[in-house]
Structures are given as structure tokens and as C-alpha cells.
Structure 1
């Protein structure tokens, strides 16, 4: 799913501020070995490396890792790129000082497995840091809107935006992580002057939207899907009749491995 469309271009278009925010909050820097889980194109990995950390970027989608390597080369930094399933990480226990994920781990089907793996590979006293879209924000609304059109999820899968709920994160990690107060922030988006442009952007480039729309088309519901998606961005538009403007809400959580 994540290899469909053009997710790397979405990162470049409006997602770039998220990576540096997480890398800084996680305390990535010299002398710290960092694992970025479900790293995609390295939106958080590359800023962590630029801050002097020893970084491993892991992701299940080889195409995203290839795009990340090109971005890292352009930025003039070196880091390791490792194909890996977030639910079964190929790393030893307690092998990282920082384990983080920026809108990545949240999209794994089985939340408990991913949380357990992130805690397992983080050393005691190390840092676990997460940045996830909230259920109440625009991306949460998008997933509610496209859910009825999407293919059936794997057995046991849970909705991705739950990772943006403080209670859910605390439940997932239990007593393995002691969290500092979690905070909500917004990513301000002004890259799409017309409301239709952002809907088209998601239809053409965002894997989950592409998969749901393809399934809708196979069932003769493509027009219904397009109307539902347009409704999400209509309701979220803060432009007040002028240029479209959006504020995508996300939860930032930073904790200490017990």
C-alpha cells in the first residue's frame, strides 16, 4: 500500500516539519544510538542524524527506504537503512538509546506487537518517542470517512489514529515506559490554495486513500468515495472562503524506558 502513489512527494510537500520536531523532542544527538521505526523516507531519521546521532532507519517498504537514501545523500548525512517489520524488529534487546516513530508505527495493524517491540529494543533508561495523528484531527476524520470503502483489514487490526490518543498509548506500553506529559500540536498546511487540490493530492499520492478508492471503484462506489473525501477537506478548511488552510493535529509523546 505505501509503495503505491507517491508518498515521498507528500513528505516534501507538507510533512517535513514533523521529523525535526520529533528528533528534537526525543533528544537525538551525539553519543545516542537511535532507531526510527516505520521510518518511511527518513523524515525523522535524517534530522536525528543531522543532530549527530547514530541512526538506523527501518521500514517495511523498500521503495520508501530508497527514497530516504537519496534524501540523506542530498542532505550530506550517513545512516543505516534496514528493511524491517515494526511488529518483529530484527534488533537485539536494549540495543538503542532512542526508539522513535513519526506517523509510522501508528499504521501497523497490531498495535500491541509494535509497542512491545519498540520497548524491547530500547535500553532501560532510554527514550521512546512517538508522533501520531489524533483521532479528533483531520487525518482521524479522513480515516473515518474512507473506512467504509476500504478493503477488509487484517484480523486483529486496530484503527491507526488510536495512536494519537494518550490513553491508548499508555495502555499499549503499560509499565514498560514512563511518559512525560503528552502534548498536542498542529501541522499548519497552506500548500493547497484550492480545496480540491488537497483532495486530489491524497487521491493520487497517499497509499491508504488509493487503496480505499480502488476498492470503492471495484464496488461501483467511486463517486461516493470522492464525495466523502471532499467533505473531509471542506469541513477542515480554515481558509474562511479564501485560500485553503489546514491544521492537522498530532500527539507528541516522549517517555523513559523502565
Structure 2
């Protein structure tokens, strides 16, 4: 019994740290500046239409939830970090989108089995630490015959490589936590969803980011706005040599991926995996 209580407390503490991390900086502005089109791409791939009941898991400020609502669907945007909802509510109101916002852990969603016709997550559920628990919840809340649609950064793409660059400077992950970019590996996702889904389709694509003039500008932008990057820098703040080394590593990463030579701006292609699947009907 003590071990069970200890595990519950450890998980509660982990989720509190994750919530605090994503509240750092300004993720809603980053998403709007750099990847605003990904939510629309996911909604289109999901086939969401008027009348659908839609859940956006780890929705942030509604990058997918808002375009889903604009189709006429009934949309719930859920996230572990409700601090992100204020920006989402404001943007939804500006666009005339009706969205319900719910604080929720992707690994223990507060919704009934089969409650939604379409379950979406745009670079969101991938950051929940226990992948199988999250996958089980995605499947559980989707009705039989409904669709699950996920967009995740790939391990070999720019953001996956950014996490690899930060890993040596970050505190060790808690036991059982899995790297977020694994959700961008098609075989990993197939294994998580298993035979509970049919018609599983995967494709890779990239979003082009030309927001930055040079590598240092990319690095400073993420140091100021992106929760995971801010958290890593805070962890090494007392060691100026490690801070300088991470500064160099992130700038070098951006320089290696730059496709904008001669244009006066950096051009970065950030690869992602798009997965769509149908919830098996079963017996």
C-alpha cells in the first residue's frame, strides 16, 4: 500500500513540474508565430466536420481546437496547463470559435468512454511522460468507428534534434518517462495503439519556419518563450560554462538545418509525423 501511495505522490509531483514548465515563457505566442498552420493541417487530415464531437488533447492555446470549432464541430480543448487557456480563449473569441476548455491530464482524461467522434493532438500528447497510458486514453475516449489523429515531431527532425541537443544539460528524466519524439516514430505509435485501431495511416511532412534572421536569434527566442528550453537553462544557470556550451550547441543546430543561404533569413524545415486511425468497432 505504501508503494502505491508513493507512486501516486511521485506522479502528482511530476505532473506539477510539467504543468509549471509549460507555463514558463509564452508557448501560445510561439505556436502562433511558428506553427500556426499545423493545427489546421491536423483538422483537415482528421476529416472533422460540423456536428462532430471533438477532443483536442494537450491542446495548449487551441492550435487545433480553434480550427476544429470553426468547422461547426463541438470541441473540448484539454490541457494539463490551464495557464495556456487565457490566450486560447482570446484567440477563439477573435475568430468566432466556440471551444470548451478543460484542465486534464492526458494520462487520465476526465471523459467518458466513447464520448468523442474525433480525438486530436497537435504536438501535445507527445509530451505526456508515459506513452502507453496516454495512448490508452486516446483510444478509450474515442467512440468505436471514430478517428484518432495525431501530429508529432519526429526524432530525426529539427525539434527532435533540439531535444537531443538539450538532453545532456537537462536533469535525468524520472523512471518510466519516455522521450517525446518517440511519438514521431511510426512503429512506436503503431505499437501504442495496437489492434484497437484500424486503417492506420502515417505520413511525414515539414513545416517551414523562416521567422529568424540567424542562429542566435532562434536560440534567444526559444530561451525566452519555450518552456522546455527555459527549464533546461534554469537547471544549469549556476554553471556559466555549461550555459555557454548549450548556447553554442543550439546555435550550431540551427546553422546545420538552415536552408536559407543567401536569402538574408534562416529557413528551417521542421519534420513531423501525421497519424490518422479509426477506432476499431470490436464486438
Residue in 1 aligned with 2:110?
Answer: 90
Contact kept in structure 1, 2:218 and 2:251, CA below 8 Å: no
Residue in 1 aligned with 2:3?
Answer: none
Q: CA RMSD in A?
A: 1.0
Please give the residue correspondences for 1:9-158 in structure 2 after superposition, counting only pairs within 5 Å: 9-158=29-178
Residue in 1 aligned with 2:244?
Answer: 223
* Count of equivalent residues: 258
Structure holding more helix per residue: 2
Give 3-state SS (helix, strand or coil) of 1:217's partner.
coil
Shift of 1:180: 3.3
Question: Structure 1 residue 236 and structure 2 residue 257: aligned?
Answer: yes
Structure 1 unpaired stretches of 5+: none
Residue in 1 aligned with 2:5?
Answer: none
TM-score computed with the length of structure 2 as normaliser = 0.89
Give 3-state SS (helix, strand or coil) of 1:232's partner.
helix
Indicate how the Cα distance of structure 1 residues 105 and 173 shifts in structure 2: closer, same or farther if over 3 A, else same. Answer: same
Question: Structure 1 residue 245 and structure 2 residue 277: aligned?
Answer: no
Contact kept in structure 1, 2:215 and 2:252, CA below 8 Å: no
* Deviation digits for residues 177-233 of structure 1 (CA, Å, limit 9, x no counterpart): 124331111001111122221111111100111111111223441111111111111
Shift of 1:66: 1.6
Shift of 1:241: 4.3
CA distance in 2, matches of 1:201, 1:73: 27
CA distance in 2, matches of 1:183, 1:80: 30
* Structure 1 outlier segments of 4+, above 4 Å: none
Give 3-state SS (helix, strand or coil) of 2:83's partner.
helix
* Deviation digits for residues 94-130 of structure 1 (CA, Å, limit 9, x no counterpart): 1000011000000000000000000000000000000
Residue in 1 aligned with 2:223?
Answer: 203
Question: Structure 1 residue 163 and structure 2 residue 183: aligned?
Answer: yes
Residue in 2 aligned with 1:192?
Answer: 212
Contact kept in structure 1, 2:25 and 2:224, CA below 8 Å: yes
Residue in 1 aligned with 2:276?
Answer: 254
Contact kept in structure 2, 1:151 and 1:211, CA below 8 Å: no
CA distance in 1, matches of 2:114, 2:174: 29
Structure 2 unpaired stretches of 5+: 1-20
